[in-house]
Structure 1
Amino acid sequence: MLRSKLMHFDLSVGAYSAFVPDIIQLARKRLSSNVCIAAVHMFVEAWLDSSYQKVINSADIITPDGKPLTWALRLLYGIRQDRVAGSDILPELLRECEKQQLTVFFYGGSQHLLDETSKFLSNQYPALKIAGLYSPPFRELTESENIEIVKKINDVAPNIVIVILGCPKQEKWSAYMKGKIHSVMVAVGGALPIVIGIQKRAPQWMQRSGLEWVHRLSVEPRRLFKRYAVTNTLFVYIIFREYLRRKIFRNRIHYDSM
């Protein structure tokens, strides 16, 4: 899949319809690989932290989940890119796995979330082969625990591991496990509770207008207020500053050539 730079941040680019087939291709080959579902928060975190930037840019596929990311691509580089949201591609990915008899392992989240996920999958995807669901301790794992988890997952040999640890932990975990777990790891985070119906997704008009974050903030204000207040402001600042820099540079070249 083609990639484009959004300043410091890599993004996979192409038609929305190409993303799930590309993930399935990795899964069928059982390549140890990882997929990031990139939002504005991740873009800003990568701008602030070069080590996290390397984690994101090392992923095999980086989908532009946030609508503002697609706007920024167009504003700065003239690239028209479909939004590829985790809440949209996860159901399609599960459906395709069911159809092609590929196995899926769910790693992360609370036990309650995984129990609800299991019920949802049995109703909506009855033929989907579930290799396992595992809720790890909510703390940093020891090296021996990580080794045990690698063995646990590789022993059941899933084609895909759905990672639900939240940003930025899930991206770091997937990058760390690349080369160890012999599956494609797809870090979906907050998309899973929406897909299985625990959380309600924003209306279509909010999704299209890039305001889905407002809906999420209304659902989880205590957890998300600080993140969005800081992150969204920084994102606008970073992109607008880059836009002005590029515009001034182009004007300078124009005047110098006259």
Structure 2
Amino acid sequence: MEKCNILGIQYDNTTVAKAAKDIYEFACSNARGYVVTPNAEIAETCFKNKELKTAVENADFILPDGAGVIMASKILGRPLKCRVTGVDTAKELLLIMSKTRKRLYLLGAKPGVSERAAENISAMYPGIVIAGTHHGYFKDDEEVISLINNADPDIVFVALGYPRQEIFMYNNYKRVNAVMMGIGGGVDIFAGEAKRAPDFFINHNLEWFYRLLKQPTRIGRMMKLPAYIIRAVFWKITSRKE
């Protein structure tokens, strides 16, 4: 898969459909590994959180989730094809999995939410086999890994929020007998607990702004987006001088 280095992260320069197909084929090869979907907030955090940076860098798939990453790629003269969000890729992957009755495990969210997400996924994608679910409020990785492996899934959707989900996948991918994919708040969305932004905001790369309108307390986190863009501009200017 074509790679594109954006401020130190080697993103897959792909599309939602291609990424889902490649992840599916990777899982069908009985591989162990994981998928991350860094947006600008996560990418900016990587400059200060070395554990997160290591987890992101070692993923088998690094998908560009977020308008900030796409904007930075254009500033740097290395334009990525498009946003490849975790939720969109998960939906496309579920569609492919449903045709071959692949097994899915849901890990994350509050108690009871992953079960509702599983019910909704089963209704939307009848061919999917739900191997199991577990909430995200656990302290013992070993116990959860044992439950996952006993359920024998092909793919595990991990929704623990960043940086926890990325670090969890990095620390445990060699012991989990499946391909893990971080989807952030995706389990809440599948459960109907949260809604994605309206199409207008998504199509105009303003999903981040919609989230800010809905949750003004996110302003502190959102400041990482302009910081990331400024970093890209600064890198572009300084690299020209060299």
Larger CA Rg, structure 1 vs 2:
1
Identity of aligned residues (%): 24
Q: Distance in 1 between matches of 2:205 and 2:125?
A: 30
Aligned partner (choices 235, 244, 248) of residue 241 of structure 2: 248
* Residues 201, 32 of structure 1: alpha-carbon distance in 2 compared, 3 angstrom cutoff: same
Tell me if 1:228 matches 2:232: no
TM-score by length of 1: 0.87
Q: What is the letter of the counterpart of residue 239 of structure 1?
A: A
Q: Distance in 1 between matches of 2:187 and 2:10?
A: 24
Q: Distance in 2 between matches of 1:246 and 1:204?
A: 37
Q: Distance in 1 between matches of 2:80 and 2:4?
A: 11
Aligned partner (choices 139, 159, 163) of residue 158 of structure 2: 163
Q: What is the letter of the counterpart of residue 235 of structure 2?
A: E
Tell me if 1:67 matches 2:73: no
Show CA shifts across 1:48-93 (max 9, x none).
2233211101000011011221221122133342111122111111
Aligned pairs (5 A) from 1:9-48: 9-48=9-48
* Worse-matched range after superposition: 159-168 or 22-31: 22-31
Q: Distance in 2 between matches of 1:122 and 1:8?
A: 39
- How far 1:22 sits from its partner (Å)? 0.7
Q: Distance in 2 between matches of 1:194 and 1:136?
A: 15
Contact kept in structure 2, 1:9 and 1:46, CA below 8 Å: no
- How far 1:136 sits from its partner (Å)? 4.0
Aligned pairs (5 A) from 1:78-227: 78-137=78-137, 141=139, 145-222=140-217, 224-227=218-221
Question: Which residue number corresponds to residue 255 of structure 1?
Answer: none
* Residues 78, 118 of structure 1: alpha-carbon distance in 2 compared, 3 angstrom cutoff: closer
Unaligned runs of 5+ in 1: 250-258
Question: Which residue number corresponds to residue 239 of structure 1?
Answer: 232
Question: Alignment length, in residue pairs?
Answer: 242
Contact kept in structure 2, 1:114 and 1:133, CA below 8 Å: yes
Show CA shifts across 1:124-150 (max 9, x none).
122310000011435xx2xxx322222
Show CA shifts across 1:173-200 (max 9, x none).
0001111101100000123323443322
TM-score by length of 2: 0.93
Q: What is the letter of the counterpart of residue 168 of structure 1?
A: P
Greater share of helix residues, 1 or 2?
1
* Residues 66, 219 of structure 1: alpha-carbon distance in 2 compared, 3 angstrom cutoff: same
Q: Distance in 1 between matches of 2:233 and 2:136?
A: 40
* Worse-matched range after superposition: 182-191 or 192-201: 192-201
Show CA shifts across 1:14-56 (max 9, x none).
2332100110011112211000011111100112223321110
Q: Distance in 2 between matches of 1:120 and 1:151?
A: 25
Unaligned runs of 5+ in 2: none
